[in-house]
Amino acid sequence: MSVLLSARGIAKAFGGVQALNGATVEVEQGAIAGLIGPNGSGKTTMFNLITGFGRVDSGEVRLGERNITNLPPDKVFSLGIGRTFQLTRVFARLTVMENMIVAAHRHERGEGFRMPLARAGGAATRRRAMELLEFTGIAKLADNRAETLSYGQRKLLELSYVLMAGPEIVLLDEPAGGVNPTLIGTITDRIRELNKQGTTFLIIEHNMDFVMGLCDVVTVLDYGTAVVTGPPEVIRSDRRVLDAYLGTAEGDDDDAAA
C-alpha cells in the first residue's frame, strides 16, 4: 500500500513546553491506524497540526504527494481530510439536518458557512445527508436540535458531518470516549464498513480494547516522540508500552494476589 498521510519529523513547542519533538506518523491508504499514548504525549497536538488548527514549527505534513504543511483548516478539509474532536464540535442550536447542510456547503465552498440554510440545502444535499444519518443510526433525530442529543449521538452526528465531504481519510479524536458500550459498538461497526468502502482512518483513543480490536497498526507517542509503530500484537508485547500504558501481566497477578 502507498502512504496516504504522513507527518514527518514534526516539532511543536508552546512556550517552554516541547509538545512534539521530531515525531513521525504515517498512515497507509486503506488502513485503520491508531495513535495512543498517555495524556500530554502530543496526540491531539499532532491532529491539530495535521488539520491546520496549529502551525508546525518544523517538519512536514503530506497528503499523498501534496505538501499540506500549515494550510488552514478549511483548505485541509476540502482536500480530503475529515476530522472530529475530543469534545464534539457541532452547531448546538441547529437541527441535525441543518448541521449536515452546513457540512455540505463548507465542502463545496472550501470555507466557512455563509449561505442561508434554505438555499444551501437542496434536495440532493438533503438526500445525501439522510443517507448518512441512516448509516450512523440517527436519522430519526434529523429534525431535533443538536443540543438535545446525548453525547454519543453527538459523536455520531459529528462523524456524519465529516462524511458529507467524502473525505479520503478521517481523523477521529477519542470516538469512544464518554460513550456507552452500545454506541461504541455502533461506531466500531460504522468505521469498519466505511473502511471496507475505501475510507482510511487515524484514531486517537484511550480505550485499549477499542484500539486493539479495530486498528491494523498503532503508533505510540511518549513525550512528543513516536516510540514504536506496529500491529496490535506487536504493541501489546512491547515492554515500553506494557510498562507505560497497558500494565503488565506481573502487575495483574500481584493485584489478583492482593
Structural domain harbouring 136: 88-166
Task: Give the mean model confidence (pLDDT) for residues 148-175.
Answer: 90
Q: What are the grid coordinates assigned to 202, written together? A: 487515524
d(CA 72, CA 245): 33
Would you list the DSSP string of the chain? --EEEEEEEEEEEETTEEEEEEEEEEEETT-EEEEE-STTSSHHHHHHHHTTSS--SEEEEEETTEE-TT--HHHHHHHTEEE--SS----TTSBHHHHHHHHHHHHHHTS---S-HHHH--HHHHHHHHHHHHHHT-GGGTTSBGGGS-HHHHHHHHHHHHHTT--SEEEEESTTTT--HHHHHHHHHHHHHHHHTT-EEEEE-S-HHHHHHH-SEEEEEETTEEEEEE-HHHHHH-HHHIIIII--HHHHHHHHH-
Which range is least confidently modeled, 54-58, 66-70, 179-183, 250-254? Answer: 250-254
Comparing 201 with 103, the larger pLDDT belongs to: 201
Residue 254 has pLDDT above 60, yes or no: no
The reported pLDDT for the residue numbered 116 is 40
Task: Write the pLDDT tens digit of every residue in 175-222.
Answer: 888 888 888 888 899 999 999 999 999 999 888 889 999 999 999 998
Q: Are residues 94 and 145 in the same domain?
A: yes
Q: Are residues 5 and 68 in the same domain?
A: yes
Whether pLDDT at 26 is above 70: yes
Q: What is the average per-residue pLDDT within 231-247?
A: 75
pLDDT at 94 over 70: yes
Same domain for 56 and 103, yes or no, is no
pLDDT of amino acid 148:
95
Where is pLDDT greater, at 161 or 87? Answer: 161
Asked if 69 and 174 sit in the same domain, the reply is yes
Q: Strand 81-83 to strand 169-173: parallel, antiparallel, or no bridges (unpaired)?
A: parallel
Please indicate, yes or no, whether residues 67 and 180 belong to a single structural domain of this protein: yes
Q: Are residues 121 and 140 in the same domain?
A: yes
Tell me: pLDDT of 31 over 90: yes
Do 136 and 194 fall within a single domain? no
Quick one: pLDDT at residue 87? 66
Q: How confident is the model at residue 252 (pLDDT cuts 50, 70, 90)?
A: very low
Average pLDDT, the chain: 85
pLDDT value for 253: 38
Residues 64 and 143 in one domain: no
What is the model's pLDDT at position 140?
96
- Give the number of domains in the chain: 2
Q: Note the pTM of the prediction, 2 decimals.
A: 0.85
pLDDT at 50: 97
Same structural domain, 174 and 69: yes
Query: Mind listing the pLDDT tens digit for each residue in 61-81?
Result: 999 999 999 999 989 988 899
Q: Are residue 131 and residue 34 in the same domain, yes or no? A: no
**Which of residues 166, 190, 207 is at a domain's end?**
166
Q: Which of 123, 117, 107 is nearest to 166 (CA)?
A: 107
What CA–CA distances, in Å, run from 6 to 1, 23, 30, 59, 186? 13, 11, 14, 10, 29
Q: Convert the pLDDT of each residue in 106-132 to its tens digit.
A: 655 544 333 344 344 578 889 999 999
CATH of the domain at 211: 3.40.50.300
Distance CA 194, CA 163 (A): 10
Residue 196 shares a structural domain with residue 178? yes
pLDDT of residue 112: 39
Residue 177: which of 36, 69, 55, 49 has the closest Cα? Answer: 36
In a shared domain, residues 62 and 179: yes
Residue 56 vs residue 206, higher pLDDT: 56
pLDDT of 58: 97
Nearest to 51 by CA among 69, 38, 65: 69
Question: Among the three residues 166, 192, 217, which one is the final residue of a domain in this structure?
Answer: 166
Report CA torsion sign: 183, 185, 187, 190. negative
Query: CA-CA distance, 22 to 8, in Å (whole number)?
Result: 7
